[in-house]
Structure 1
Amino acid sequence: MVTTLLTPVGDAPWSTEEFESRLRAVPEERYHDRHAFNIRMHSGALSQAELRCWIANRFHYQRHLPVKDALITAKLPTPALRRMWLRRIQDHDGLEEGEGGIERWLRLGEAAGLDRETLLRGDTVLPGVRLAVDGYVNFCRLRPPLEAVAASLTELSAPDLIRTRVAAFERHYPWIDPDGLAYFRSRVPQSRRDGAEALRLVLSWAYTRKDQERAVAALRFACDVLWSLLDAVAHEHCPEGS
């Protein structure tokens, strides 16, 4: 007599459509555009000191993006996938000195009146921001490719936020040199491309219900990292010029 083992209905994989819907629901509910600090930023309510504090602390996150992407690249099994992910490192580090997203963020800081060397030293980075960023980098270091890539799906919501941010900066913060907004303008098409690529990988790699649930949890974690960064900045007194 042959016994057939049936997978419980509750453990069956979600359909591709339902899985994608659950992934997209995470940033819709938890993305940091809903954080009170971001809402204040986009409504023009931040002081110069608060905005400079955010720029300096967000730079700590930005400069670690190519680090976490290098860790992900090392996990990918084929040259084609590694070439695809390597482009993200190049987007942030540039192909030459003076290029790339990190350089453009430094210019944003300078446009807002911050000193480049101070930004590079990280003297004003808050402990809570360091903890959040270290957590994200270590997540990508330690977790399997599916979860590390799924964590990058915050990019799905980034283009809309960035467009809102550019309009808000132009309207409410004219004391920032407009040339300093180049980082945001370049990231809209990059984020759209990166989010679509990562989503295709996650949808194709998650075969089981447990895989799908781990991918959703990884995206929640990444949203929590961004939320924690803003929590740290929002609760810190940032003196003028810091």
Structure 2
Amino acid sequence: MTDVMSPEALERALRKIGEERYHNLHPFHKMLHGGRMNFGQVQAWALNRYVYQAAIPRKDAALMARLEDRALRREWIHRIHDHDGIDADSGGIERWLKLTDGLKLDRAYVISQEGALPATKFAVEAYVRFVYERPTLEAIASSLTELFAPAIHAERIAGMLEHYDFISDELVAYFRKRLDQAPRDCRFALAYVQEHARTPEQQAAVLAALRFKTDVLWAQLDALYFAYVEPGFIPPGAFRPAPK
């Protein structure tokens, strides 16, 4: 990149990354949303995805610890509240645990993350570390997968309710809540990135940060596919579904 993009051009470049690299394109998600997974495979997905859900407040707290701007901290802190809960809202992590409860996974086992795939843990921690170590602009840009999240949540709600008799409307409460939360979050993050990415180098770093985040999400599904679909090699110590 040698020229500075306009804010509109930068947004188009960011959205193009989602069109090409977001994990809704992964074969695992296509199987999950299309009803082509068995109960044990859905359990494995929910258990591993909990590792990511549980890490979101930690990565946001890691970012906030470095922010000198009080107004920015005040804006960002609601992301922690969204997941950890505040006042009457039990939070997204609790809603995810309601999903794993409904899938007959022991809650203490899920929270322990003992049965999660090694690659899941490595990918998630790489994301937390990225947000902690990289400049604020890049850390915020990495959250912009939220630009693409509402579509995948809507697809997931419809597909899972249609295809799996063990999924109820109550169990997809996490995704329904994110239909409102994700657009709000990404509006702020996108505006911040458009305002502060002022040089070709900064804009290139912003795009690279979003590509990194899509890689984090994609790697988690690669691991799930390898372990629970094809070739079905489950690492030692990882969750093993009950025999069919």
TM (norm. structure 1) is 0.93
| Deviation readout 1:75-98 (Å, 9 max, x if unpaired) | 333221101100000000001598
List runs of 5+ in structure 2 lacking aligned partners: 229-238
Checking the alignment, whether the CA contact within 8 Å between 1:72 and 1:145 is kept in structure 2 is yes
Equivalent of 1:145 in 132, 136, 139: 136
Matched, 1:57 2:48: yes
Determine the structure 1 residue equivalent to 2:66: 75
Question: Is the alpha carbon distance of 1:204 and 1:167 closer, same or farther for their aligned partners in structure 2, counting shifts above 3 Å?
Answer: same
The equivalent residue for 1:192 is: 183
Structure 1 segments, 4+ long, off by >4 Å, are none
Structural mapping, 1:1-80, within 5 Å = 11-80=2-71
Judge conservation of contact 1:69–1:88 (CA < 8 Å) in 2. yes
Distance (whole Å) between structure 2 residues aligned to residue 131 and residue 240 of structure 1: 22
Q: For the structure 1 residues 98 and 114, does the alpha-carbon distance in structure 2 shift closer, same or farther, using more than 3 Å as the test? A: farther
Cα pair 1:112 1:177 within 8 Å, conserved? no
Partner residue of 1:239? 240
Q: Superposition pairs for residues 46-195 of structure 1, below 5 Å?
A: 46-96=37-87, 99-195=90-186
Tell me the distance in 1 between the aligned counterparts of 2:11 and 2:158.
30
Q: Is the contact between residue 112 and residue 175 of structure 1 (CA under 8 Å) also seen in structure 2?
A: yes
Q: Supply the AA of the counterpart residue of 2:145.
A: T
- Of structures 1 and 2, the larger Rg is shown by 1
Gaps of 5+ in 1: 1-9
- Aligned residue for 1:7? none
Cα contact 2:23–2:29 (8 A) shared by 1: yes
Cα distance, 1:24 vs structure 2: 1.0
Quick one: distance in 2 between partners of 1:85 and 1:181? 25
| Secondary structure in structure 2 of the residue aligned to 1:196 | helix
Distance (Å, rounded) in 2 between the aligned partners of 1:120 and 1:35: 26
Does the 8 Å CA contact 2:161/2:168 hold for their aligned counterparts? no
Provide the C-alpha distance between the structure 2 equivalents of 1:177 and 1:38, rounded to a whole number of angstroms. Answer: 19
- Letter in structure 2 aligned against 1:239: R
CA contact (8 A) 1:152 1:195 kept: yes
% same residue: 42
* Deviations 1:165-205, CA, capped at 9 Å, x for gaps: 00011101121233111111101100011111100000001
- Cα deviation, residue 39, structure 1: 0.4
Q: Which residue of 1 aligns with 2:231?
A: none
Report deviation, 1:74. Answer: 2.2
| Deviation readout 1:58-109 (Å, 9 max, x if unpaired) | 0000000000011112233322110110000000000159810000000000
- The separation in 2 between residues aligned to 1:241 and 1:212, in whole angstroms, is 48
